[in-house]
Structure 1
Amino acid sequence: MADSSDIEWTDATWNPVTGCTKISPGCDNCYAARFSERFRGTPGHPFETGFDLTLRPERLQQPLLWKRSRRIFVNSMSDLFHKGVPTPFIEQIFDTMEQAHWHQFQVLTKRSSLMRDFLRRRYTTRPAPDHLWFGVSVEDRLRLSRVRHLQAAPASVRFLSIEPLIGRIGALDLAGIHWVIVGGESGPRHRPMDPAWVREIRDQCLAAGVPFFFKQWGGFRPTQQGRTLDGRLWDEFPQPQQTWPALAAAE
């Protein structure tokens, strides 16, 4: 667990699971895999096994020890809903998040249908508590089914992380979405992001009244091209009064 984070939209990270496997083009240049694999084979290092999926039960209680409220990105080095993570272990992570109600937990996945199904089983008569935020990663228009899965989940706060944005998204259904993050890819093999793609998403958020957060343009280094869009920073967050609406559509 890191008491601070360089990720602009969170305060801290908590990784009760590390490691993952790639499932779509947005994973191709994964920063977490690149970082972890640097230490494969280093005796005693937390990433001695590189980016292999690893459960870390010794970290399960960590957020309960932090008394100051934080936004906490859950599994910044993994995907909580990876098929290799046992359901009972996910349940334990949720137990901790529910107990640590003074934090805001940001859970982000590409396995959107698995998250939807888990939330439906856990929250059968009410939405998840509003200090638990649930998001999906969407890198191009071919991944928009993840948005529909999120909309069908009983979450109080739903968000989209459109990063790395590697293709035009097009029309976005923002019903029941409370926050949108957009960012370009960084690293030695980063793919370019067209400013028109970003503006199209930003303008849809403005029209729908959805908070918009622009993280970075990307480049070899994350900060290489800055964070301003059309002469300003876009650092909007969900508002506390935004709550889960009933949605008719379900998949």
Structure 2
Amino acid sequence: MSKSTIEWTSKTWNPTTGCTIFSKECDNCYAKTMSKRLQAMGQEKYSAGFDVFVEHLSELNEPYKWKEPSMVFVNSMSDLFHKECNIDFLKQIFEVMNKTPLHTYQVLTKRDVELLKLSPELNWTDNIWMGVSVGSVASVRKIERLRQCGAKHKFLSVEPLIEELPDLDLTGIDWVIVGGESGSVNIRPMEKEWVLKIKKNVKIKMFLFSSNSGGV
């Protein structure tokens, strides 16, 4: 666990690490860049590199140690619904979240098909928020599968927003985060008009413009 500089959370928790390219929003993945830095610093957890999905059993005890209520971004350096995540380990992660209602867990995925397929096997307690990444027109389809999953609280991470999106149907969506691409090389620009187009469909209390791009 570590304190987070991401504006919409307070801590990050990574019971798995590693991921693979899934969509064009992934082209300048901040987590891949960060993983390389951590690997170069000799951090054992990232020794396998970013392209290898690794489950970290030792991380399952961490949330039980936190005494203050926290907003926790789950897997800022990976994706719980990656095809290589073992369903039994995924259930163990959910059990930890179920047993620590003091904290609110923000789970974010790009893999909406896996989310919907595995959703019936998971225990969606009130403290688990589920989100999908929607930064391009091709990703808008994910919203409907998010609506169908068992999570009681649902959100969109529209970051990195790399192109103008059509008017979004936000029925059943509780929170929308919008942000541009982070980094310093080959960053794709985000236009103000794209953000305003999304905001007009969102209640103010549901909308957050993030200057950080975070998440997988």
TM-score by length of 2: 0.93
1:180 alignment partner AA = V
The answer for the alignment partner of 1:216 in structure 2 is 211
Give the match's secondary structure for 1:105: strand
Higher helix share: 2
* Identical-pair percentage: 42
**Unaligned regions of 5+ residues in structure 1, if any?**
223-251
Quote how far apart the aligned CAs of 1:7 are: 0.3
How far did residue 169 of structure 1 move? Answer: 1.1
Unaligned runs of 5+ in 2: none
Structure 2: distance between partners of 1:62 and 1:217? 25
Answer whether contact 2:94 2:122 (CA < 8 A) is retained. Answer: no
- Aligned to 1:205, what secondary structure does the other structure show? coil
In 2, Cα distance between the equivalents of 1:201 and 1:88? 37
Task: Kindly indicate whether structure 1 or structure 2 has the higher relative contact order, using CA contacts under 8 Å at least 6 residues apart.
Answer: 2
User: Are the counterparts in 2 of residues 42 and 48 from structure 1 also a CA contact under 8 Å?
Assistant: no
Q: Does structure 2 retain, via aligned residues, the 8 Å contact 1:39–1:50? A: no
Q: Give the drift of 1:83.
A: 0.4
Q: Distance in 1 between matches of 2:169 and 2:49?
A: 37
In structure 2, what is the equivalent of residue 24 of structure 1?
Answer: 23
What is the RMSD of the two structures over their aligned residues, measured on CA atoms? Answer: 1.8
Q: Give, in angstroms, the shift of residue 46 of structure 1.
A: 2.7
1:145 aligns to what?
Answer: 141
Q: Which residue of 1 aligns with 2:64?
A: 64
Query: Per-residue deviation at 1:42?
Result: 6.0
Are 1:192 and 2:176 counterparts? no
Aligned residues between the structures: 212
Bigger radius of gyration among the two: 1
TM-score by length of 1: 0.80
Q: Is 1:18–1:55's contact at 8 Å kept on the other side of the alignment? A: yes
**Which amino acid in the other structure matches residue 183 of structure 1?**
G
Q: Displacement, 1:107?
A: 0.2
2:159 counterpart residue number: 163
CA distance in 2, matches of 1:14, 1:117: 24
CA distance in 2, matches of 1:217, 1:191: 14
Q: Deviations over 1:171-204 (max 9, x none)?
A: 1111100000000001122100011100000111
- Report if aligned partners of 1:104, 1:131 keep a CA contact under 8 Å in 2: yes
Task: Please name the residue that 1:201 is paired with.
Answer: 198
Question: Structure 1, residues 114-171: CA drift from partner, whole Å, max 9, x if none?
Answer: 1122222335xxxx22210000001111111110110111211000000000011111
Distance 1:42 1:15 in 2: 18
